[in-house]
Each structure stands twice: as structure tokens, then as C-alpha cells.
Structure 1
């Protein structure tokens, strides 16, 4: 959205949308691959590390994306659309924004609460929050 009076989305909003869609979709696919043991144990380790680091970065992007939507606001209702559909549209929009935060946050917390640090692209380690690996019973946290 270019401004609050224009119903069209601006270039940055469209870039946010498609970049987010590609990144979240890609991360979801990699997450399923890791969950269903498609890769050998040796191959899964580096992929898991990259998945965690990218997910952490994606969490920052998600906060940016939600913040951008809050600043830009939502487009005005489409003329002629029933009120219940407009309300449903807003609820779905809010739900999608919540999911943008919840998906990467759940992955980051799963690792950190499971006692495993996150290696952020070999730049630094994000230390675990809990040392008890039993707090998180997921495979490969």
C-alpha cells in the first residue's frame, strides 16, 4: 500500500509479500524434509543448522513485515462486499500476520528451550534458554 488513501499495494508491500511467501514456503518444505528423515544423518546436520539460522533471520523479517503492515494499515473495504466478508477478510489477515510471527518463533524456541544453541551462519551462537533437552522432545532440535 503506498499510502492510507490508496487501495493498491505499493512496491515494497508487494516485495514483502512475495519475499515472505517464498521464504516461508521454502522453510516449510525444508522443515518437512528434516522431520521425515529424507536426508541421511550426515546431510541433515548442516541443513538443520542452515534451517535454524535462516528461521532466526526470518523471525526478524516477520517482525518487520508485521510492523510494516501496522504502519501502512489495511486497504479499505471493497465497495459492494458484504460486511461479513470484509470482517472475515480482516480476521484472516490478522491470522496470517500472527502466523508470520508464530512459525519462526516456535522453531527458535524449540531449539533454545531444548538446550541447543543456534549457530547464526557461523557469525555467533545464540545460547540455549534451558539446558534440559527433555523440555523439547522433538527430533533434532
Structure 2
């Protein structure tokens, strides 16, 4: 498996108020394993590790009934704020402003000009 490239789909997220059911379903179906992430305080997030991959490629978010259940993809980008501005000029809008977690990952959720929900994220700059 190669590292994801910029502007490609590189993460998925499934939101549910029943994350244990989601983990069991996808674990049984595809052999996924899960690890609790503590990178964002107060958020119940379980990293999804798919077979034969070195690390997580998605996650299960316990939204505790605050949203409807969903499944979305995230695109790896160089600059989240710049992409947000570009999306706005193309008729998109922001559903969730950028947030940066303890690991330095910045992410936001957008809606395209047709109303479809998706996410963007950037990784922290490598330490030289």
C-alpha cells in the first residue's frame, strides 16, 4: 500500500450513536479492528484499522445522538482553510469549521454545491 497523495480520498468516517454495533458489523464483515483515539478531548472516536495496513484508514465517531447517522469520506489536502475558501467560491459551504487535534491533524466538513457532505484534512508538517 502506498501513502495517500494530496487531493485523494485518504480517510473515511462512520458516525453513529451505536458505535459498538458499527464496530461489530464491520469487524465481522471485513476483519477491521478498532482502537480508541484520545487525540481530541471529550470525543469518543475509534480508529479503524483495515487488514494488512500499517495504521488506521478511517474511524467510527460516537455522535451520541447529536447528528443523524452518516458515512463520509475525507480528502487529504495541503491547506484546509485554502480549500474551504475555494469550495465556497464554487458554491459549497462549511458544515464544521476547521479543528486541529492533539496529533496536529486539521480537519473540516463541507457540503458541495449539490448538498453532499464530505470532509477535508491536512497532516502536520514534518519536523525537520
TM-score, structure 2 normalization: 0.23
* Greater strand fraction, Structure 1 or Structure 2: 2
TM-score (norm. length: structure 1): 0.22
Report which of the two structures shows the higher radius of gyration computed on alpha carbons.
Answer: 1
Higher helix proportion, which one? 1
